[in-house]
Amino acid sequence: MNRRYLDDDSFRRDYPRTAAKIQAADAALWSADESQLTVVGHACREAKQMFASEALDRLGVAPEQPDVQHTVARARQVMATIRMTPSVGTAEGKVLDALARYWIEVVNLVQRQEHGGQREAEPVTHEDARGVLFQTINATHEIARSVERALSSWRPERTDPRTFLAAAGTRRPTRPPLD
C-alpha cells in the first residue's frame, strides 16, 4: 500500500517537495545501512514541514506562523481553513479534529526517530523507522485529500475557492480542540 502512495502522481504534482522528502525517507529506510534509521526521521520531519507549507499554498492562505519548523501550528491552520469551507459538515469536522491530534503524535514519533531515541534511552529500530514513514505518508495523504475536497467543493459560478479561503484565513479561525 505504501508503494501506491509513493507513486501517486497527483500527490507528487500537488506536493512535489513533500513527495521528494518522502521518497528520500523511503530510500533511507530500505538501504542496508542501520545508520540511515535517523535519516528516515530527518526526511520525514522535512516532509511534514514541506507539506504544511504546500498545503497552505494550495489553499491560498499565508502562514500565520512563518517558521516552517512549527508544523503543528501550520497544520492546525490548514485544518481550520478547511473547516471554513461550506462543504465540511459535522462528521468531516470531527475527522479533521482527529487528524490534527494524529499529526501531533506523528510529529512526536518523527522527532524520536530523528534523534535516535536518545531522550527515551531506547535505540530506534528498522520497524520504528518503517512506522514513522508509514504514519508520515498516511497523515500527509489524508490531509491532502481534505485540502483537495475543500478546493473541489466550489462550483464554477462561485468565487475562486482560494480567494474565499485566503479571506477566511485572515479571520483567525478557532483552533480545533486537541484534548
pLDDT at 155: 46
CA distances from 62 to 66, 73, 137, 167 (A): 9, 13, 24, 10
pLDDT at 86: 76
Higher pLDDT, 171 or 131: 131
Q: What is the mean pLDDT of residues 111-122?
A: 86
Structural domain for 162, as ranges: 2-169
Cβ partners under 8 Å of residue 53, min gap 6: 17, 63, 68, 74
Position 178 confidence tier, pLDDT thresholds 50, 70, 90 = very low
In angstroms, rounded to a whole number, what is the distance separating the alpha carbons of residues 151 and 129? Answer: 33
Exposed (0-12), middle (13-18) or buried (19+): which is 170, by Cβ within 10 Å? exposed
Q: Does 27 reside within a domain?
A: yes
Computed over every residue of the chain, the mean pLDDT equals 83
Q: Does 175 reside within a domain?
A: no
Instruction: Give the amino acid at 156.
Output: P
Distance from the Cα of residue 171 to its chain's centroid: 22
Query: 52 with 82: CB under 8 angstroms?
Result: no
Could you tell me the sign of the dihedral formed by the alpha carbons of 145, 147, 153, 156, in that order?
negative
Q: Does 81 reside within a domain?
A: yes
In angstroms, rounded to a whole number, what is the distance separating the alpha carbons of residues 42 and 27? Answer: 13
Query: 63 with 56: CB under 8 angstroms?
Result: yes
Q: Does 6 reside within a domain?
A: yes
Q: Does 101 reside within a domain?
A: yes
User: What tens digit of pLDDT does each residue of 10-55 get?
Assistant: 999 999 999 999 999 999 999 878 888 999 999 999 999 999 999 9
Q: Does 138 reside within a domain?
A: yes
Q: Does 174 reside within a domain?
A: no
Query: What are the grid coordinates assigned to 69, written together?
Result: 519548523
Q: What share of the chain is helix, strand, coil (3-state, %, to 5)?
A: 70, 0, 30
In angstroms and rounded to an integer, the radius of gyration of the C-alpha atoms of the chain is 17
pLDDT at 153 over 50: yes
Q: Does 178 reside within a domain?
A: no
pLDDT at 31: 87
Whole-prediction pTM value? 0.82
How many domains in the chain? Answer: 1
Higher pLDDT, 96 or 162: 96
Question: Tell me, what CATH number does 153's domain have?
Answer: 1.20.120
Q: In terms of Cα–Cα distance, which of 36, 55, 35 is closest to 44? A: 36
